Amino acid sequence: MFFINYYKLLIFLIFVLTSENILGQKKEFRSEKINYIYDKAKFLYDSEPKIEKLKNELKKFDQIVMDLKQSKNQDQKKIYEVDKKMIEMLNKYKLDEAARSFSTKYKHEHSLFVEDSSINKINKFEDFEIKEVQNLWRKTLEINLKDSEKKIIYDMLIGYQNNLKKYYELIENINKMEIDENSIDEDKHNLINLKKKETKSLNNQLEDEYMKIMNKIIILQNNPFLHEIVRKLYDEAITSKKFSEKEEKTLRSELRTLQEQFFRLDYHKSQIEEVSQYGKKEAITEDYKKNEEMAEILRKKVKKYSEYLKNKINPHLEL
């Protein structure tokens, strides 16, 4: 009897140990979200010692995420704030690729560009402290765009504002150092010159960023779509003048659907390309296969829907 029970226990242990290999490697964290960050960071930076430090920080986030998940009333705003802090933490470790990948996956993968979530309602000025940036955001809000489309400009403005702050800080530091002329030694003089070069470089960058943002706003004022093919279809529809106001409204809705499909396809393609770029066979995971499957499904959808809209607008139009 004892032998039979022992034998059963042994079989059970073997099953547990082998099933871990069948189902995949044991995960470091309880949260799928945190495991995704950790796996992505290891994949991109597996030779970096900072991964171990990152792991310790992720343990804290893992607890926070699981607490939020288990709470009866899941506060979407809190979840968004935690995600935001995680992205900031990844940037702190200079894990920019992991931060971008996480941001894309968890903000857009399951419900790309949804309009009903409160976290996407970005029609506010609180995030912009500098008047110049507020004016650019005001111009954006005057355009009839969906929140997902406004988010493109919003992200550009956040980056622009951060660089403006750095620029103003540099100018202030240089002014303070130059005021105390009597104490300027050779080292301090060299430091001022270095800061001036940095200021000049940042100023050029800011000019480029400003022009890009302004051009994007002007383009969107004339055509509210971001994807090149969708923009082309919309321009053709408006130029043809063959649609009534009601038909144009329906057409815009259909074009938005096509654009969202294009964005979803681009996301899955970027995930596949990321793995191909690093050429790691071990990265061919279940997640990778899902991305391939979704990309194939969306390619067919995009092709079919593009053809439908092209025939509706102008069958002879080359896309």
Q: What angle in degrees, to the nearest 10, is found between the helix axes of 96-108 and 245-278?
A: 140
Question: pLDDT of 3-55, one tens digit each?
Answer: 445 555 555 444 444 444 434 456 788 887 788 778 877 776 665 677 788 88
Q: What is the pLDDT of residue 24?
A: 45
pLDDT band at residue 309 under the 50/70/90 scheme: very high
Tell me which of 78 and 205 has the higher pLDDT: 205
* 71: pLDDT strictly greater than 90: no
* 111: pLDDT strictly greater than 50: no
Q: What are 296's two structure tokens?
A: 């194939």
Question: pLDDT of 149-169, one tens digit each?
Answer: 788 888 889 899 999 999 999
Tell me which of 101 and 145 has the higher pLDDT: 145
Q: What whole-number distance in Å separates Cα of residue 308 and Cα of residue 311?
A: 5
pLDDT band at residue 278 under the 50/70/90 scheme: low
Alpha-carbon distance values, 169 to 134, 246, 292 (Å): 19, 52, 46
Q: What are 90's two structure tokens?
A: 């990844």
Fold of 227-318: Receptor-associated Protein (1.20.81)
Identical fold for domains 6-109 and 227-318, yes or no, is yes
Question: pLDDT of 215-258, one tens digit each?
Answer: 888 888 788 888 889 999 999 998 888 999 889 889 988 998 89
The CATH number corresponding to 6-109 among 2.60.40, 3.30.1490, 1.10.10, 1.20.81 equals: 1.20.81
- What residue spans define the domains of the chain? 6-109, 128-222, 227-318
Alpha-carbon distance values, 16 to 5, 22, 24, 260 (Å): 17, 10, 12, 43
Q: What whole-number distance in Å separates Cα of residue 158 and Cα of residue 154?
A: 6
Q: What whole-number distance in Å separates Cα of residue 291 and Cα of residue 293?
A: 5
Q: What whole-number distance in Å separates Cα of residue 161 and Cα of residue 136?
A: 11
Contacts by 254-260, CB closer than 8 A, 24 or more apart: 254/305, 254/309, 255/225, 255/230, 255/309, 256/146, 256/225, 257/305, 258/227, 258/229, 258/230, 258/233, 258/302, 258/305, 258/306, 258/309, 259/225, 259/226, 259/227, 259/230, 260/112, 260/113, 260/148
Q: What are 8's two structure tokens?
A: 């059963």
Tell me which of 231 and 102 has the higher pLDDT: 231
The CATH number corresponding to 128-222 among 1.20.81.10, 3.30.300.210, 3.40.50.280, 3.40.50.300 equals: 1.20.81.10
pLDDT band at residue 272 under the 50/70/90 scheme: confident
pLDDT band at residue 72 under the 50/70/90 scheme: low
Tokens 């896309």 belong to 319
DSSP 8-state secondary structure symbol assigned to residue 319: -
Q: What is the pLDDT of residue 209?
A: 93
* 3-state DSSP assignment of residue 122: coil
